[in-house]
Structure 1
């Protein structure tokens, strides 16, 4: 349940200037742990809230 509370932290990293981010950018930013970021991105993608990413490629939320 705590990871659900981290979604706003993750989404806050996206704005008009940063419409896409690599997973590395997301994990390097202050906030959730790497494993949480990867899990949240995968969940958002499965729910249709983001574009699929590949290693080193940006994801768009």
Structure 2
């Protein structure tokens, strides 16, 4: 289950999250939007180019 959908399903409306050294984000809707933005910036892996392992390809 992608993170945004998990937040939507399992977090209460007053939930908050905090990244290191950043102010807390409060409210489930804001958390969902933040997760979707974060995931939108990720690179999708071509299944033909990836192998199963404990590491994930990431573009920094």
The reply to whether TM is greater than 0.5 is no
Q: TM-score per shorter chain, which class?
A: 0.3 to 0.5
Flag the structure with higher helix content.
1
TM-score normalised to structure 1 length: 0.34
TM-score by length of 2: 0.34
1 or 2 for the larger relative contact order (CA 8 Å, sep ≥6)? Answer: 1
